[in-house]
Amino acid sequence: MASREMTYGEAIREGLREEMRRDERVILLGEDIKINVWAVTRELHKDFGERVINTPLSESGFSGAAVGAALTGMRPVVEIMYADFTMYAADSIANQAAKYRYMCGGGEFKVPVVFRVAGGGSANGGGCHHGQSLEATFIHFPGLKVVFPSTPYDAKGLIKTAIRDDNPVLFYEHKLLYGVKGEVPEEEYVLPLGKAEVKREGKDVTIVSYAWTLHKALRASEQLARERIEAEVIDLRSLRPLDKECILNSLQKTSKLVTAEEGTKMGGVGAEIAAVVAEEGLQYLDAPVKRIAGAEVIIPSSRYADQMVIPQVEDIVRGVKELF
């Protein structure tokens, strides 16, 4: 299959462009999305005109408007400029989008909306209002799907599926991945939501991660290999639904679990995985579960200090070695 190299941001833009061509019900809404600080939606308005809407600064308002438009025949894709700002939009996402279908008794009530959220990236001086990883907050809500790709290939395939899905999808994009390049096929493709991927096979320990931290986990696994520890690295890709089967299958082989994420530890994604394994796969483990996660402090805005509070490659290596 012929492919070319493009960045994560470009791959998402190509996915958006293809879906907008395919389905005229797809519209884009968000703050300053014609020029766009992340450049993902930049210049799409030149091809799609009024279907690309610069909204007022009102995250709750335009997220709610997207729910209303989705209910009545459109397929809106909303951009929330920073994951931190989902706190403003939380009611529209978690109380309205997630629950509308059910509380109306199903049937014709559907909310096919995608919330694209720029998340993570605390190690850039953004601080506590521009650098949080809040995806774990939203996995708590039935009715939502939550996706967080780590590569340009996954980002394109998953944004297309998210747009075609009849349910509300929170589609996280990692700010530090926007410029990262990878191979993307020239042919059209889509990827299923709810499917994790084994990125590296190994027999000694399973590292479950996603997004930017996934890349750190892969680098950690190379260091570990030099010390004769073969780590299996799983990229979750979707956080809800969670691909339990992929995790449990891996643990049957490795018997050791390490989770790695940028968000804070308490109530995090790793906490949920550890709980699933405790319920459904405790018999596979021969060591305690190790969670590598953001420190329980507010993210400082110093460009260097914040690197101390989110997991680095060395933290993952150290965490794995503690289990041996």
Partner 1 sequence: MPDISRETLLKIYRNMVRLRFFDDKVNELVASGIGITQHSTRGQEATTVAACAALEPQDYVMPYHRGWGWAIGKGMDPKILLAELLGKKTGCCAGKGGVHVADWSLRIMGRPGVQAAHVPLAAGVGLSIKFRKTWDVVLCFFGDGASNEGNVHEGINLASVWKVPVVFICENNLYALFTPYEETTSVKDIADRAQGYGIPGVIVDGNDAIAVYEVAREAIERARSGKGPTLIESKTYRIHGHTAMDRFHLGGYRPKEEVEEWEKKDPVNRLRERLIEMKTASEAELGEIERRAKQEIEEAEKFAKESPYPTVEEIFCDTYVE
- Residues at the contact surface with partner 1, assessed by CB under 8 A: 25, 27, 51, 55-56, 58, 60-74, 76, 91-92, 95-96, 100-110, 142-143, 145, 166-167
- By beta-carbon proximity to partner 1, the closer residue of 100 and 178 is 100
- By beta-carbon proximity to partner 1, the closer residue of 97 and 233 is 97
**β-strands 114-119, 181-185 pairing:** unpaired
CA 265/CA 249 separation, integer angstroms? 24
Active site residue 45: no
User: What's the closest the beta carbon of residue 96 comes to partner 1, in angstroms?
Assistant: 6
The structure tokens listed for 286 are 């021969």
User: What's the closest the beta carbon of residue 320 comes to partner 1, in angstroms?
Assistant: 36
- By beta-carbon proximity to partner 1, the closer residue of 72 and 283 is 72
* Alpha helices, DSSP H, located in 91-187: 100-103, 135-138, 152-164
What is residue 289's three-state secondary structure?
Answer: coil
Sign of CA dihedral 29, 34, 37, 39: positive
Which of the following is catalytic: 45, 130, 174, 215?
130
User: What's the closest the beta carbon of residue 37 comes to partner 1, in angstroms?
Assistant: 21
Contact 248, 206 (CB under 8 A): no
- By beta-carbon proximity to partner 1, the closer residue of 74 and 260 is 74
User: What's the closest the beta carbon of residue 65 comes to partner 1, in angstroms?
Assistant: 3
Greatest alpha-carbon pair distance for the chain in Å reads 58
CA 314/CA 312 separation, integer angstroms? 5
The structure tokens listed for 126 are 């953004």
> What is the set of active-site residues?
130
